[in-house]
Amino acid sequence: MSGVEIVPLAGIPEIRPGDDLARLVGDALERAGGLAGGDVIVIAQKAVSKAEGRVAQTDDTVGLILREAQAVRRRRGDLVIAETEHGFVCASAGVDRSNSPGDGWAVLLPRDPDASARELRDELGARFGAAPAVIVSDSFGRAWRQGTTDVAIGVAGLSPLLDLRGTPDARGRVLGSTQIAVADELAGAAELVLGKASGVPAARIRGYRVPPGEGSARALVMPPERDLFP
Amino acid sequence: MSGVEIVPLAGIPEIRPGDDLARLVGDALERAGGLAGGDVIVIAQKAVSKAEGRVAQTDDTVGLILREAQAVRRRRGDLVIAETEHGFVCASAGVDRSNSPGDGWAVLLPRDPDASARELRDELGARFGAAPAVIVSDSFGRAWRQGTTDVAIGVAGLSPLLDLRGTPDARGRVLGSTQIAVADELAGAAELVLGKASGVPAARIRGYRVPPGEGSARALVMPPERDLFP
């Protein structure tokens, strides 16, 4: 059966600044049966940010959001839709008070989520002998749809876009313009076993053949000249 | 291991108007080991639309798109971002010439994708004794991110949104505003085994506890008063 299997990596404690995230994820992977070639590890941004000390204590959440934002796209009451320094467009420029280290604390996005993904990939590769593709995921809202879905904000060891341009469809007709954001679909698939309230920050996906590449989540950012909703 | 498993439902022939989609999906399910309680079936919109005869032959694709659109949101050259009669915002109002029945043909969205999902759910339930949750999926672009992801345009037997408002996070802090569009994450997860070019139009997802509900994909549409990107 050529299926895809997603398992939660359980037993990872609450992450604190300076924690060795790769060791904790590796220990959880061992409990889940280890790594195989082609596996994808999805890790929640919040765990990465906490390990990297990307947390802030403030009474002024809006001020913090505006500091983190490169540009504010829309604002309505407490809701700020902002572009981050990475180019991502999301609520509150990624600043999040839920699952933070404590009252008055907020978690910020990693400075370089691709580098975070690469580091985890390299360290897990060294430990297990097979380097997994790694995705750092976060929950983003969407322009015209209710609810969040998890998407990739950092990637390593895969191309985040599967490019079908030029390949034939099932009838042999060449597909004109299809690029599939598989890194976002993988992040969303992993969210199904993570869960906001469960304290499980990582998942292993097995059985999906990732598009090869070194990878960067920056490739998922719509370039300004193609952005119809600035 | 409390994981999620996604398997492609292979061997379903090219769908034509009037085909008995539930029978064909049921046959494929039997080849894949059947249905169990709690399973989710994801079926590609194109298969549903073809079975329902929602295809059109035209030389005037843009005219067809404008007929299918309830409102045009943006237009740049051949690219039309339009709102459909269902309230979905997507490219070409869902009109798609790839994987169409032939040259000059296009596939349109089902008139009532929730009803299509309900019908499939009921017929599979009658055949297998356990009615699965059903999601009709389509590939949509996003406002600020490159590439498409599959999302739910029709649902039956699940609430498309997991509402965590009022539940505590891992530290006991109440989550303020979190609704997760799990039907979209399930649709995207299924896309990983469908593939545009492979001719596999359906997948079975096992191991995910869906939020209970009769369900409607209309719940995923951002209401106009909350839409910041009209």
Provide the ipTM: 0.96
**Interchain proximity B170–A99, CB inside 8 Å:** yes
Question: Tell me, what's the pLDDT at A214?
Answer: 95
Report the pLDDT value the prediction gives residue B197, as an integer from 0 to 100. Answer: 59
Radius of gyration of chain A from Cα atoms?
A: 18
Residue B59 clears pLDDT 80, i.e. is over it: yes
Question: In this model, does residue A98 exceed pLDDT 90?
Answer: no
> Does A184 contact chain B (CB < 8 Å)?
yes
**pLDDT for the residue A64:** 95
For A141, the 3-state DSSP assignment is coil
Q: Residues near A1 by Cβ (< 8 Å), separated by ≥ 6?
A: B7, B32
Which residues sit opposite A137 in a β-bridge? Answer: A44, A152
User: Given CB atoms, is B181 within the 8 Å cutoff of chain A?
Assistant: yes
Q: In a mutagenesis test of the B interface, which of A139, A151, A173, A185 is the best target, namely the one with the most B β-carbons within 10 Å? A: A185
B192 vs B77: which has the higher pLDDT: B192
Q: Reply yes or no on whether the pLDDT at B37 is more than 90.
A: yes
Distance, CA of B132 to CA of A203 (rounded, Å) = 25
Check pLDDT > 90 for residue B127: yes
A-B CB pairs within 8 A amount to 235
How does pLDDT run across A133-151, given as a tens digit for each residue?
999 999 999 999 999 999 9
What is residue B213's predicted lDDT score, i.e. its pLDDT? 96
Kindly report, residue by residue over B106-117, the tens digit of the pLDDT: 999 999 999 999
Predicted confidence (pLDDT) per residue in A12-69, tens digit? 999 999 999 999 999 999 999 999 999 999 999 999 999 999 999 999 999 999 999 9
pLDDT averaged over chain A? 93
Q: Sign of torsion, CA B13 B109 A222 B74?
A: positive
Please tell me the CATH superfamily of domain A5-49+110-221, with its number: CofE-like (3.30.1330.100)
Domain boundaries, chain A: 5-49+110-221, 55-108
pTM for the full predicted model: 0.96
Confidence at B78, pLDDT banded by 50, 70, 90: confident
Residue B165's pLDDT is 79
Task: Break chain B down into helix, strand, coil percent, rounded to 5.
Answer: 30, 30, 45
Has residue A187 got a pLDDT over 90? yes
- Nearest Cβ partner for A170 among B14, B102, B220: B14
Nearest partner of A118 among A161, A154, A162, judged by Cα = A154
Residues of A in contact with B7 (CB under 8 A): 1-4
Specify the CATH architecture of the domain B55-108. Answer: Alpha-Beta Complex (3.90)
| Separation in Å, CA B158 to CA A23, B39, B40, B142, B208 | 38, 11, 9, 24, 11
**What is the distance between the alpha carbons of residues A79 and A166, in angstroms, rounded to a whole number?**
41
- Six-digit token string for A50: 């906490």
List of chain A residues whose C-beta atoms are within 8 Å of the C-beta of residue B74: 228-229
- Please state, in angstroms and rounded to a whole number, the distance separating the CA atoms of residues B1 and A6: 10
CATH 3.30.1330.100 for domain B5-52+110-221, yes or no, is yes
pLDDT in tens, B2-26: 799 999 999 999 999 999 999 999 9
Over range B26-55, report the average pLDDT.
Answer: 97
The better pLDDT of the pair B167, A208 is held by A208
